[in-house]
Structure 1
Amino acid sequence: MTRLNSVPALLPVSIIERAKALSTTLIADAMDCTGVMDYKIKPVASGMKVVATAMTVNMRAGDNLILHQAIYSGREGFVLVVDGKDHKANAYLGELMAGAANAVGLEGIVIDGLVRDKEALCKLGFPVFAKGFTPSGPFKDGPGECNTTISCGGVTVHPGDLIIGDEDGVVVVSKEIIEEVFAKAEKKLAYEQKRLREISEYTRKSKEGDPERTIEPSWLKKKQKNLTLLSRSMLRYIH
């Protein structure tokens, strides 16, 4: 049996736009490296990115019947996040399904499994994130379920969560903590932009023969001092 539960509410446009100004690395740092899917889940072609609200799909290993149904119930603003059970004997989708998902307005597909038709997927440009490729096709017998809590790439995903995918991988932000995560990520972004300006200025002055004395970040000496104090404390304990 397959079951299509209610489609979750889309996240506000303001949230999506703020997320688009951030990267998966900034979001991961803001969540202390939680919410990050398995490193093998990557875009099928360079340059693919997705920022959207999660519609979740739970499939039987090697079977994509429910994924077909999910695609045709999808629409603009949603990304399908699919628990493919890390199955490696069959591809879950290829050119036709990705083309259909693109046509109905979906923002992308993230799948814990394999896909096929790499050349066509790259040409299409529709964001697909997967663990790799195989020419072997899937079964179409079911069962499956849409819009229930799943695990994808080792991360729990709820319908309506924020999904961000780029060259580095995919991160999941629970809808309940989005504001908290954004505040930390935007602060980190401001810091990184400041550091980039400092490095650029250091490089410019070095080329002019008038380098700054150092571009060490301010936190480095503090970390080194803390490590020294910890080492001394451990030595006293040992002796």
Structure 2
Amino acid sequence: MKRPVVVTEVPRPEPALVEQLAAYGVATVHEALGKEGLLLPYLRPIYPDAHVAGAAVTVLCPPGDNLMVHAAIEVCRPGDVLVIATEAPSMDGMFGELLATSARAHGVLGLVVDAGVRDVAALSAMRFPVWSRTISARGTVKETAGAVNIPVVCGGTLIRPGDVILGDADGVVRVPRQGLAQTIAQAAARTAKENATRERLAAGELGLDIYGLRAKLQALGVEYVRYADWEG
């Protein structure tokens, strides 16, 4: 176990920049980052249109113990997103309606947990967005120290406190705090390019021509053969 610690006064990104990032989807931002930062796809939203963008408050817990989640809420600020990792794989319900009520009272926007979540109907009714590894009614204890606001690995991705977490129906992506402005610019450029491509596709142009894929097919030896000749 890492040193038991609660790190306070973690640097956060500029709220205006986080708001700008929130306008883009996870897939677009992931591509803008050079296909980096995407958490593993087993982390799924508990309701289909869940969306969140905010600064990460990271929590490292022993499996089956959510003591440090309670400790983390004390150091949360409005606009934060809780990111919970465990020292070993866990499927227990680490977070539920009462913790969400407490978290929301302190301005927490949502949760990413590499373990279980419970009270899903209540959380969905609250519109408290959660991305979790699984759903489990199995509860936890509050007995063992962990750590808050240290680097953690959640969903196979290293997340540092203060990184920006963006989540939607496609999953969750982590954006480094210090690269946020550049990522937004790259996402904007990618979106403009996709909008132009969408117009061409809607007008009937083929992706084969827009993306220059005919030459690739030819290089790979793909032949166009009439059905009658193929049957022969």
Shorter-chain TM-score above 0.5: yes
Distance (Å, rounded) in 1 between the aligned partners of 2:215 and 2:117: 50
Identify which of 151, 154, 170 aligns with 2:153: 151
Q: Say if 1:115 and 1:132, in contact at 8 Å, map to a contact too.
A: yes
CA contact (8 A) 2:92 2:140 kept: yes
Q: Quote the residue 1:176 is aligned against.
A: 178
Other-structure match for 2:226: none
Counterpart for residue 127 of structure 1: 129
Output one character per residue of 1:208-232: Cα deviation in whole Å (capped at 9) or x when no partner: xxxx5x34365532x442464476x
Q: Select the residue among 9, 12, 15 that pairs with 2:11.
A: 9
The 1:29/1:86 distance shift into structure 2, 3 A limit, reads farther
How many Å separate the matches in 1 of 2:9 and 2:46?
26
1:23 partner amino acid: G
RMSD: 2.1
Give 1:49's aligned residue: 51
SS of the residue 1:87 aligns to: coil
Corresponding residue for 2:207? 216
What is the CA-CA distance between 1:129 and the residue it aligns to?
1.3
User: Matches of 2:50 and 2:91 in 1, distance apart?
Assistant: 25
TM-score, reference length from structure 2: 0.86
Q: 4+ residue runs of structure 1 moved beyond 6 angstroms?
A: none
Answer 1 or 2: which has greater helix percent: 1
Alignment-derived partner of residue 227 in structure 2: none
How many residues are treated as equivalent by the alignment? 220
Partner in structure 2 of residue 189 of structure 1? 191
Distance 1:99 1:78 in 2: 14
CA distance in 1, matches of 2:31, 2:139: 37
d(CA) in 1 for partners of 2:125 and 2:97?
A: 10
Q: TM-score, normalised by structure 1?
A: 0.84
| Gap change, CA 1:217 and 1:27, over 3 Å in 2 | farther
1:32 CA displacement? 2.7
Percent identical pairs in the alignment equals: 29
| Counterpart in the other structure of 1:74 | 76
Question: Structure 2 CA distance, aligned partners of 1:163 and 1:99?
Answer: 20
Unaligned ranges ≥5, structure 1: 203-211, 232-239
Name the amino acid aligned to 2:207: E
Bigger Cα displacement from structure 2, 145-154 vs 83-92: 83-92
Shift of 1:131: 1.3
